[in-house]
Amino acid sequence: MAETNNFLPLILDLSGRKIVIFGGGSVGERKAKLFSGCADTLVASLEFSQGLQELGASGHVRLVRLDLLTASDSELRELISGAFLVIPATSNFELNQEITAIARENDILINQVDTLGSVVIPSVIKRGDLVIGISTLGHSPAVSKYTRRQIEGLVTPEYSDMIRLQDELRNYLKQHVAEQRQRKAILWKVLESEAVWNGFSDSYEKAAERAYAIVSGYLDNSSR
Ligand SMILES: C[C@@]1(CC(=O)O)C2=NC(=C\c3[nH]c(c(CCC(=O)O)c3CC(=O)O)Cc3[nH]c(c(CC(=O)O)c3CCC(=O)O)/C=C3\N/C(=C\2)[C@@H](CCC(=O)O)[C@]3(C)CC(=O)O)/[C@H]1CCC(=O)O
Ligand SMILES: NC(=O)c1ccc[n+]([C@@H]2O[C@H](COP(=O)([O-])OP(=O)(O)OC[C@H]3O[C@@H](n4cnc5c(N)ncnc54)[C@H](O)[C@@H]3O)[C@@H](O)[C@H]2O)c1
């Protein structure tokens, strides 16, 4: 098991990145579903789950059918050529290790699914512009999944509304408040306002109206 206190989550722009998954079973499908929305995802396998066949048919992932045990090294290198991330997820541990070695030789990031490798895939929550990654660093993926479900219950749709409102306010305040510390104080006053949060249940406009009232109050006080 790798030394786990050196792991940190990163939020990456995967657009245009090539991700190659070996193995089209339940794990390969879960990984392909995660990445297919944002990266060029290829799955190489003997067989493909129903879910992957559907993703392939809809053009969301590229499926390459082959027996990796009889594939030549050059065929494997061709498949991983230009890849940002390789995920060896067949049911054959030795084969996964072989693919890992080839990816390592080519300095490609590897997400190992049958042990803790240098890249760990977290549980992911994506609610609009709010993205949360959760990992136990290999100790208990079930707890990651459990924690995801717990947090999903907390992250109500109002979080996306508040992100939109804060984004709007940040741009407004950059035009009207010179001092960054003052801008930060106003944003937190809005963020911690129960009236603003409750306003969203009426409408976004209602919450925004209450937020701008806080901003005006702050600006009036500071101009005295
Ligand atoms: C988070 C998530 C992301 C994803 O892959 O999508 C993920 N696994 C998920 C679910 C899950 N996986 C497993 C169970 C069964 C219960 C359990 O074992 O706990 C459950 C829960 C379930 O299915 O209910 C079995 C399992 N997992 C690994 C092994 C190999 C081993 O450890 O030996 C075995 C076989 C163990 C055995 O043979 O018994 C290894 C890994 N799994 C990881 C990620 C990485 C560590 C992440 C972390 O530490 O948090 C790591 C190291 C590598 C990797 O990145 O794949 C995803 C939840 C997505 C969601 O939120 O829904
Ligand atoms: N990381 C995780 O969350 C997690 C969860 C469960 C299991 N695992 C591990 O992940 C691995 C895959 O698990 P799974 O449930 O997806 O297995 P699975 O049996 O559902 O799928 C295995 C896939 O590998 C393909 N495959 C096997 N041999 C092949 C070959 N020679 N050439 C091409 N393709 C080949 C099969 O066609 C199949 O599509 C297992 O080793 C398991 O230990 C990881």
Strand partners, 65: 45
Whether residue 78 is found in the same domain as residue 99: yes
Same-domain pairing of 29 and 56 = yes
Task: Report whether residue 112 contacts ligand 2, using a CB cutoff of 6 Å.
Answer: no
Partners of residue 45 on adjacent β-strands: 65
Q: Is the same domain home to 106 and 143?
A: no
pLDDT tens string, the chain, 224 residues long: the values are 556 679 999 999 999 999 999 999 999 999 999 999 899 999 999 999 999 999 999 999 999 999 999 999 899 999 999 999 999 999 999 999 999 999 999 999 999 999 988 899 999 999 989 999 999 999 999 999 999 999 999 999 999 999 999 999 999 999 999 999 999 999 999 999 999 999 999 999 999 999 999 999 988 887 77
Task: Report how far residue 169's alpha carbon sits from residue 143's, in angstroms, rounded to the nearest whole number.
Answer: 37
Measure 192 CA to ligand 1 centroid, in angstroms.
Answer: 36
Calculate the dihedral angle through the C-alpha atoms of 198, 158, 203, 174, rounding to the nearest 10 degrees: 100
111 and 147 part of one domain: no
Q: 112 and 170, same structural domain?
A: no
Structurally, the chain folds into a number of domains equal to 3
Predicted TM-score (pTM) of this structure: 0.94
Identify whether the C-beta of residue 1 lies closer than 8 Å to the C-beta of residue 138.
yes
The ipTM of this complex is 0.97
Q: At 79, which amino acid appears?
A: L
Asked if residue 131 and residue 76 are part of one domain, the reply reads no
- Ligand 1 centroid to 150 CA: how many Å? 17
Which of 27, 31, 85, 113 for a ligand 1 pocket mutation test, highest count of atoms within 8 Å of Cβ? 113
Range of the domain at 130: 122-155
**73 and 53 housed in the same domain:** yes
Number of C-alpha atoms within 13 angstroms, CB side, residue 33?
14
Q: Tell me if 6 is assigned to some domain.
A: no
